[in-house]
Amino acid sequence: MNFQNIKNIYLKELRSFFNSPVAYIVIVVYLTILGWFFVSNLFLNNMSTLRTVFEMTPFLLLFFAPAMTMRSISEEKKSGTLELLFTKPIKEFEIIAGKFLAAWALYFFTLLPTLLYYITITSIGDLDTGAVIGGYLGLMLVGAVFLAISIFGSALTENQVVAFIVSLFIVFALFILDKVLFYLPPTLAVILEYISVDYHFSNIARGVIDTRDIIYYLSMIGFSLYLATSVLQKRRWA
Amino acid sequence: MSIQVQNLIKLYGDAKAVSDISFEVHSGEILGFLGPNGAGKTTTMRIITCYLSPNAGSIKVEGHDIQTDSLAVRKLVGYLPEQNPLYHDMNVLEYLEYTAQLQGVGKSYIPQRMREMVEACGLGEMKHKDIGQLSKGYRQRVGLAAAMIHDPKVLILDEPTSGLDPNQIVEIRSLIRELGKQKTVILSTHILPEVQATCNRVVIINRGKIVADGPIADLQRSLHGGEKVVLEIEFPDGQSFEMISVQFKTIPAIETVSLIEERDNVMRFSVETSSAIDIRKELFQLCVQKNWGLLELHRAQTSLEDIFRQLTSDVTK
């Protein structure tokens, strides 16, 4: 693996996010929606907590992650620039990794302004800083899983709309898994609970950082990126 | 040997895009890769550049196998695909920098290589413009500049002059000829004069098979045994083509006489012989003897176009 190649792809992707309206639209829309939910019942609840940020973000991400990455690979396929990348001395995984990291960085910049909420709340009440750090860590990990899955969705097709819908379907399925456990036999429920993104997130969001949860996230990310890489490889060797 | 293609086979589903072709390209050679649309030119080039994998056969580029040593091959080769892969939201310099980085050009060399390529491809005025705003001709130049950014030993160009205006075509051809002195170049096209103007050798491919391989002059000789002469003559009144053609046939080497054009008393003929004998002197003497006004007399070469048609049309085969 050549990190210079990953860095080149990463920088190019990040630049094209910020050269186009994509980055600004994502940031503005996310903050607007989150801001409304955050403020509307802040004084009603009268609690110094960032719970709204941590509860709403995974839900918003269901739409934002596929939207941020739907262009990623499918556009390269459609415009023929994949032929450029494939005939350069770069491995498929380096392409995928660079694109994934760029999307993750954009997500990081989207979350960054919500630190203002943290500053606001700590100035008017007591906030459990440990839980906040855990919550943000969890958000970064959930985001990484959704983005990695969406990169895979984008690798499947040259049509951005199809990429968006396929990715949305997969992340939505993972998201609702632990909400339908009620209807399932217990043995199956345990397995599905483990696969569910939300189940692991709720642990971290409480400020409990368990290696099992971290391993779950890392393996989900790794597996999705592996699948995306295989899709590209298969195309070349087809 | 710069490029060695052996028994290459590529299938798309059940259809054979390339069926069992072999050829070699030497260093410092410009090879013209000719064929009608869908003959397998682009597929072959895509396999050499590691974009697609072959179903069977082997290709070595400068001794590196495209399957086992793919990264080394991709480092050596500069490739301009038929569908020029440009990012329309980048400007020319950004694009050249990005392709140089991807190609693994050393950081300290990149600015110098970019300057050289902008110069060589005449992109000076356009270098800060977004690629999306450029005309097709300029985009093609950007693609060429990007293909050569790492000073590759092997250049593979899929229809490099498509979309260029006549002046640009001449410039690009002379650039390719210049490059061909030190590099190995494969160039595909269906513009035949282009091959005659730039290439040392041609490989003609039809329906996935090689139908001719050799220097242009050799192909011309081997495919057309006889000579062809075109002449234009002004006749006295009352002559018909039949009467004149009988007169021509008195020269024994002449096999066919055909009328190209007739206006007033001037007729234009093409005369063909069965073997390679120069009959221009005899034709001239005939005209003097009959007191015909000879306006024009020249030897017509079998053009590459004729060769191409003979080899690739299925009717003649």
Q: For position A49, what pLDDT does the model report?
A: 81
- Asked if residue B314 has pLDDT above 80, the reply is no
Take residue A60 and report the two structure tokens written for it: 């918003």
Q: How confident is the model at residue A238 (pLDDT cuts 50, 70, 90)?
A: low
| Chain A residues within 8 A of B46 when measuring between CB atoms | 83
- Asked if residue B303 has pLDDT above 70, the reply is no
pLDDT tens readout for residues B182-198: 889 999 987 777 888 88
Across the interface, of B46, B72, B102, the residue whose CB is closest to A8 is: B102
Give the bridge partners for B156, in sequence order: B79, B186
**What's the rounded mean pLDDT across residues A61-90?**
94
- Output phi, psi for B23, to 5 deg: -160, 170
- Asked if residue B226 has pLDDT above 70, the reply is no
Q: How confident is the model at residue B224 (pLDDT cuts 50, 70, 90)?
A: low
Q: Which of these, B231, B234, B207, lies nearest to B279 by C-alpha position?
A: B231
- Do residues A86 and A170 make contact, with C-beta atoms less than 8 angstroms apart? no
pLDDT tens readout for residues A5-42: 999 999 999 999 998 898 999 999 999 999 998 888 88
Q: Where are the alpha helices (DSSP H) in A158-210?
A: 160-176, 186-195, 197-205
Q: Which value, in Å, is the radius of gyration of the alpha carbons in chain B? A: 25
A42 or B97, higher pLDDT:
B97
- Asked if residue A109 has pLDDT above 50, the reply is yes
- Do residues B157 and B195 make contact, with C-beta atoms less than 8 angstroms apart? no
Q: Which of these, B43, B34, B8, lies nearest to A83 by C-alpha position?
A: B43
Domains and CATH numbers, chain B: 3-222 (3.40.50.300), 225-301 (3.30.70.3190)
**What's the rounded mean pLDDT across residues A61-75?**
94
Q: How far, in whole angstroms, is CA B82 from its chain's centroid?
A: 14
Say which DSSP state A77 is in: H
**What's the rounded mean pLDDT across residues B61-87?**
93
Q: For position B97, what pLDDT does the model report?
A: 96
B43 or A199, higher pLDDT:
B43
- The whole-angstrom separation of Cα A93 and Cα B118 is 32
Q: Edge-to-edge, what's the strand order for the sheet holding B228-234?
A: B254-263, B266-273, B228-234, B293-300
Q: For position B315, what pLDDT does the model report?
A: 46
B313 or B122, higher pLDDT:
B122
Take residue A157 and report the two structure tokens written for it: 């097709």
Distances (CA, A) of B254 to A206, B225, B247, B248, B258: 100, 13, 11, 7, 11
Which residue's entry shows tokens 């072999």? B22
Give me the residue spans of the domains in chain A. 3-41+53-236
**What's the rounded mean pLDDT across residues B307-315?**
70
- Asked if residue B52 has pLDDT above 50, the reply is yes
Q: What contacts B151, CB < 8 A, 6 or more positions away?
A: B113
Which range of B10-19, B89-98, B222-231 scores highest in mean pLDDT? It is B89-98
Neighbours of A180 (CB within 10 A): 12
Please indicate whether, in this complex, the C-beta atoms of A89 and B46 are within 8 angstroms of each other.
no
Take residue B145 and report the two structure tokens written for it: 């500049």
**What's the rounded mean pLDDT across residues B237-264?**
82
Amino acid at B287: C
Task: Please give the mean pLDDT across all residues of chain A.
Answer: 91
**What's the rounded mean pLDDT across residues A119-147?**
90
Q: What contacts B12, CB < 8 A, 6 or more positions away?
A: none
SS3 of chain B: CCEEEEEEEEEECCEEEEEEEEEEECCCCEEEEECCCCCCHHHHHHHHCCCCCCCEEEEEECCEECCCCHHHHHHHEEEECCCCCCCCCCEHHHHHHHHHHHCCCCCCCHHHHHHHHHHHCCCHHHCCCEHHHCCHHHHHHHHHHHHCCCCCCEEEEECCCCCCCHHHHHHHHHHHHHHCCCCEEEEEECCHHHHHHHCCEEEEEECCEEEEEEEHHHHHHHHCCCCEEEEEEECCCCCCHHHHHHHHCCCCCEEEEEEEEEECCEEEEEEEECCCCCCHHHHHHHHHHHCCEEEEEEEECCCHHHHHHHHHCCCCC
pLDDT tens readout for residues A155-206: 999 999 999 999 999 999 988 887 887 788 888 888 888 888 888 888 887 7
Q: For position B316, what pLDDT does the model report?
A: 41
Amino acid at A221: I
**Residues in chain B whose beta carbon is closer than 8 A to a beta carbon of chain A?**
46, 49-53, 71-72, 74-75, 77, 79, 81, 83-90, 98-99, 101-104, 146
Across the interface, of B71, B72, B81, the residue whose CB is closest to A80 is: B81
- The whole-angstrom separation of Cα B110 and Cα B106 is 6
CA-nearest residue to A21 within chain B is: B89
Q: What percent of chain B has pLDDT over 70?
A: 95
- Asked if residue B317 has pLDDT above 60, the reply is no
Please indicate whether, in this complex, the C-beta atoms of A87 and B53 are within 8 angstroms of each other.
no
**Residues in chain A whose beta carbon is closer than 8 A to a beta carbon of chain B?**
4-5, 8, 12, 16, 19-20, 79-91, 236-238
- Identify the weakest region by mean pLDDT among A26-35, A36-45, B46-55, B151-160: A36-45
Please indicate whether, in this complex, the C-beta atoms of A84 and B102 are within 8 angstroms of each other.
yes
**What's the rounded mean pLDDT across residues B132-140?**
89
